[in-house]
Amino acid sequence: MNTTDDILLLKLIQSGDEHAFKYLFDTYFASLCRFMNVYLNDRQESEELALDIFLYVWEHRQEMEVKISLKAYLFRAARNKCLNCLRDRKTSLSLDEVNDHGQMIIDSSSLEMEELTRLIEEAICSLPDRCQEVFRKSREENLSNQHIANEMQISVKTVEGQITKALKRIKDFLGEQYTYLF
């Protein structure tokens, strides 16, 4: 969906058009649930929180201000919901979680890796659909550019361009802290 489509869709939703809202829901609900499940590792909770986001959008449609795109707005809301949920899950430590010196046992490198994995997945999910598809085929399925081009019926140059675009956007999304990865 491009910016013009987003603006039109948002105006329709703001005017109370239920068909436009249903289109938004049908377009993004499943991908929001998958994205949130990366954080929460609980499918049912992810679905409930995604529904909460769409309910909020409908109830507050007239006050909504979308600065980038509806997709970016929804995924940012999903990320925030997940972080709030994870924060709320925290409970007091059990004795098993504390070592003899009274310090928490934490494997910081695995926590860092887990957070980085979540950030990268969030960045990938924020890519345009076609760019995301090409990138996933390249990196997750380990397909060659030629194979991707043949499968998607596009040129190898287009595949290369989409991968370059994805890497740049992921790098920008992750910020300065992880520039060493790219």
pTM of the predicted model, to two decimals?
Answer: 0.52
Query: H/E/C letters for each residue in 95-116?
Result: HHHECCCCCECCCHHHHHHHHH
pLDDT for 96-129, tens place per residue?
Answer: 544 443 444 344 445 566 777 888 888 899 899 9
- The pLDDT score that the predictor gives to residue 66 is 76
pLDDT for 131-148, tens place per residue?
Answer: 999 999 998 888 999 999
Q: Which two tokens stand for residue 94?
A: 């059990």
Q: What residue ranges of the chain have pLDDT lower than 70? A: 1-4, 90-113, 176-182
